[in-house]
Amino acid sequence: MENKKILLSENEMPTQWYNLAADLPNPLRPPLTADGTPITPDTMAPIFPMNLIEQEVSTQRWIDIPKPILGFLRSWRPTPLKRASALETHLDTPARIYYKDESVSPPGSHKPNTAVAQAWYNKEFGIENLTTETGAGQWGSALGYACGLVGIKCKVYMVRISFEQKPFRKVLMRIWGAHCIPSPSQDTQAGRDILKKMPDTPGSLGIAISEAIEEAVSDTSGKTRYALGSVLNHVMLHQSIIGLETRAQLKKVGIEKPDIIIGCAGGGSNFAGLAFPFAAEKIDGADITIKPVEPKACPTLTRGEFIYDYGDVAKTTPLLPMYSLGHTFVPPGIHAGGLRYHGMAPLVSQAVVDGLFEPESLDQLECYDAALTWARTEGSVPAPETTHAIAATIREALKAREEGKEKDIVFCYSGHGLLDLSAYETYLDGQLVESTLPEDDLQKSISDVKDNPRVE
Amino acid sequence: MENKKILLSENEMPTQWYNLAADLPNPLRPPLTADGTPITPDTMAPIFPMNLIEQEVSTQRWIDIPKPILGFLRSWRPTPLKRASALETHLDTPARIYYKDESVSPPGSHKPNTAVAQAWYNKEFGIENLTTETGAGQWGSALGYACGLVGIKCKVYMVRISFEQKPFRKVLMRIWGAHCIPSPSQDTQAGRDILKKMPDTPGSLGIAISEAIEEAVSDTSGKTRYALGSVLNHVMLHQSIIGLETRAQLKKVGIEKPDIIIGCAGGGSNFAGLAFPFAAEKIDGADITIKPVEPKACPTLTRGEFIYDYGDVAKTTPLLPMYSLGHTFVPPGIHAGGLRYHGMAPLVSQAVVDGLFEPESLDQLECYDAALTWARTEGSVPAPETTHAIAATIREALKAREEGKEKDIVFCYSGHGLLDLSAYETYLDGQLVESTLPEDDLQKSISDVKDNPRVE
């Protein structure tokens, strides 16, 4: 019997992160201030600790993972690479399907890979409090978990509608000792201003970001900083451990080079984590198809433009060089909350411009169909975000069958769906409708940013 | 750095189950009919397939695990044995704490170990439909998952109050293709009778068992059988893989014999799974303390009597030789629903009579305190049942500190608590009250069974 699971021992875990910025065919553009001036590390210092800012701007190829971070990561890493043999049989495909199971971490996703690193670097820099925002709660719970491990305080501004409607991730944060409050709140000027104007607002990620950053920069003791769970270069760096482990695991079963790499992409972090080490091989000439998969309702890479744009609606962040649907774009309320982002990580965006990746967008219903096929063959229940990677994988496996070609397909199983079962219930009840792209809104949000600085 | 995880490869997975009935100092008593006659295999034939009945009455020490069942088990097994080093540091104990992580299965507990075996044996015997009952849904979801894998139909009678108040495990069952309905239902005579008398009843496990058995035995095609998730001998047999793997994993780190084995005990299956292979060593003379842990609010082993009693309130099952609080005992509504059972597996009961185990009962609040300590050190969130094993482990680790003794403690992490977060919220809000034992009810339920056949 062939093994379902390809395991690494803890001693085989990578001890360095891989930085794609060192190998991109065209160098990454710097972030800009609103007037078009490149951001300096000092400008970022009130928001992030300097040791993370150094990683943010680094072009060094390999960066050592500090021993204490390795210790925390070993709580759940190395994660298994698994063969989806039951799905292969069901699809009657000659393709071999492997998936990197990032759902085994205590918060249930890939997010703690960067959360423990960020918490540790902040503590090392003397920071005692981290603030962040969260939508459905994946990132907030991961950072809460990490801060608990490392021993610093964590305050999470959670979008109010999610705070009220999705209580479970909030409970997780409390279990791990984090302080989670609904946003907008009375704790910040930004929150108070909004509440005065709109006392019944459901909140938004943009508002929550503004509150979390305000609290960090206004602590005059200098002991508070802000943490972001995706998009930024240092986040992509920390996630590269996913792909590095995967590469070692594939070699264990004699696969020197996979044919297809797939990951769902919202801000880009789980996709980048798996894909970047393979992108390096592609830059070196290897023939690998690498696909970020996004929802048709929020098609950043497939319909957006590569421009300088803000990371949030309120324009509190610097301008980042990235694919964007325009920072005023509000995607429909699809269940994969982690994929509802108007922008995309600059490193992923630049690699798309450079022709390294082949983005694809999928319908929500196709993704849930794929998830049900998955659960009834492989057994586990994927997060709504992860269903996009599964659906794209099934497409490729069926294509391999049509072509009669053996292929090695690897995708990132970014998280489990055990806290998203109400979405599945809606689907099983036949109530899940396709979330169509609001074309008029998209045209407007893209036109809203037409005067932003252009990338060359 | 020492490894957190002790892994087995799939090739190292046990290929035989261990049957404690072969080694008990005193032989197990047979189940009886209501008039005191020993039950014959033929009497059980309308309820269970003959291949499982053979296992139920077997005293063979080792029983081969069929290859197809090994294949299904390999979807998530071997499970990791993990070192709780962060908890050890927190407790400042010289004890080494290991836990067998059964939460990694798709349904999130040890239950599928027997569910896939039972589903497969039924299919092998030509059965096309399995019926069962479930309370909070752990067993129903495990059997639903297993029937989906094996390819037979599954119908789950879920206690109505849980069906309405705990929707998520019901969604899991639907995802895996099982048919889950609230009990009492219109589908059986037992259900219709109850609904006529008590249209608003919240239902009970006893009623649900009656309905599931009625549907199985009344299918005149002979293609339907019933499945039970705990208590019975063949269930304990299938769970022995937990302890067999653990023993192999301990040997990998040089531990020939652990000092203390701990598991929570409701019907007894996860405890037995871990403990029985070590009980065999104890029978051979090894010095091992083995502790089943139960809630103070349902203290079957610590306050019950070893008698012949029914497995359900409605007396539809045979009389089983077991510790019991009396089949009319209704424990208070503690959050660890899996531990709210008036009886205990006959094999576990007989081993207690024979002096192999040292039962302990704990307060609910101590268990949740322990769970919070666990989550804030080891990271994961345990099922309410599992918190009892953790609390008992912490007691032993602190005792080892007082005594200044190095000890190897191993417990069964029977399941995760990700679908039980509302219980944690109640606890974090300070609203979780101690569930005290209703002494008067207990005296009455014990007196209710005083005329049952006594065991010698």
What is the pLDDT, as a whole number, of residue B315? 87
Position A221 scores a pLDDT of 96
**Which domains does chain A possess?**
5-12+76-108+239-447 (3.40.50.1100), 16-64+111-226 (3.40.50.1100)
pLDDT band at A299 (very low <50, low <70, confident <90, very high): very high
**Average of pLDDT values for B296-301?**
94
Contacts of B123 by beta carbon, 8 Å cutoff, 6+ apart:
B150, B151, B152
- Average pLDDT, integer, range A64-72: 97
In terms of Cα–Cα distance, which of A456, A450, A343 is closest to A29? A456
Which of B2, B3, B5, B154 best probes binding to A when mutated, by most A CB atoms within 10 angstroms? B5
User: How far is residue A292's CA from residue A370's CA, in Å, rounded to a whole number?
Assistant: 17
> Which of B440, B238, B371 has the alpha carbon at shortest distance from A174?
B371
Q: A332-383: per-residue pLDDT in tens?
A: 877 888 888 899 999 999 999 999 999 999 999 999 999 999 999 999 999 9
pLDDT of B136 over the 90 cut = no
**Residue A1 confidence (pLDDT):** 64
A146 CB burial (10 A radius; 0-12, 13-18, 19+): buried
**Beta-carbon separation of A376 and B10 below 8 A:** no
Q: What are B228-285's pLDDT values in tens digits? A: 999 999 999 999 999 999 999 999 999 999 999 999 999 999 999 999 999 999 999 9
Mean per-residue pLDDT for B294-304? 95
Specify the range with the lowest mean pLDDT, choosing from A235-239, B38-42, B275-279, B387-391.
B38-42
Instruction: Return the residue in A105, A175, A422 with the most chain B beta carbons within 10 A, the one to mutate for interface testing.
Output: A175
Residue B424 sits at the chain A interface (C-beta within 8 Å): yes
Are the Cβ atoms of A376 and B176 closer than 8 angstroms?
yes
Q: How confident is the model at residue A153 (pLDDT cuts 50, 70, 90)?
A: very high
Please say if the pLDDT value at position A31 is more than 70.
Answer: yes
| Per-residue pLDDT reduced to its tens digit, B330-357 | 888 778 888 888 999 999 999 999 999 9
Of the pLDDT bands very low, low, confident and very high (cuts 50, 70, 90), residue A331 is confident
pLDDT of residue B257: 96
Judged by CB atoms closer than 8 Å, whether chains meet at A171 and B424 is answered as yes
Residue A316: which pLDDT band, with cuts at 50, 70 and 90? confident
Tell me the residue type at A395: R
pLDDT of residue A445: 92
Q: For residue B129, give the DSSP letter.
A: E
Interface test with A, best of B4, B9, B75, B422 (most A CBs within 10 A): B75
Q: What are the tokens at B284?
A: 């051979």
Number of H helices, E strands in chain B: 19, 15
Residue B1: what pLDDT?
64
**What is the per-residue pLDDT for B203?**
87
Is B34's Cβ below 8 Å from some Cβ in A?
A: no
Q: Does B419 touch chain A (CB under 8 A)?
A: yes
Instruction: Tell me if A4 and B380 make a contact (CB, 8 A cut-off).
Output: no
Look at B379 and A76 and tell me if their CB atoms are within 8 Å.
yes
Which among B70, B74, B68, B34 has a CA at the least distance from the CA of B315? B34
- Residue A293 pairs with which residues in a beta bridge? A264, A360
Look at residue B5 and give its three-state secondary structure.
strand
Q: pLDDT at position A423, please?
A: 92
Closest to B302 measured CA to CA, from B349, B337, B259, B248: B349
Instruction: Give yes or no for residue A281 having a pLDDT over 80.
Output: yes
Residue B104's pLDDT is: 97
Q: What percent of chain B has pLDDT over 70?
A: 100
Q: Is the pLDDT of residue B329 over 80?
A: yes
Q: What is the pLDDT of residue B2?
A: 77
Task: Note the pLDDT tens digit of each residue in B140-151.
Answer: 999 999 999 999
Confidence of residue B455 (pLDDT cuts 50, 70, 90): confident
ipTM rounded to 2 decimals? 0.95
Higher confidence at residue A146 or residue B438?
Answer: A146
3-state secondary structure of B31: coil
Which of A4, A76, A168 is the closest to B75 by Cβ?
A: A4
Min mean pLDDT across B104-108, B159-163, B313-317 is at B313-317
More confident residue, A17 or B2: A17
Predicted TM-score (pTM) of the model is 0.97
Q: Is A7 on the interface with B (CB under 8 A)?
A: yes
**A145 in contact with B at a CB cutoff of 8 Å?**
yes
Amino acid at the residue A330: V
Is-contact B187 B181, C-beta < 8 A? yes
CA dihedral B373, B378, B383, B387 (to 10 degrees): -40
Band (pLDDT 50/70/90 cuts) for residue B313 is confident
Checking if the pLDDT of B389 tops 80, the result is yes
pLDDT digits (tens, 9 = 90+) for B357-371: 999 999 999 999 999
Crossing angle of helices A421-428 and B167-175, rounded to 10°: 60
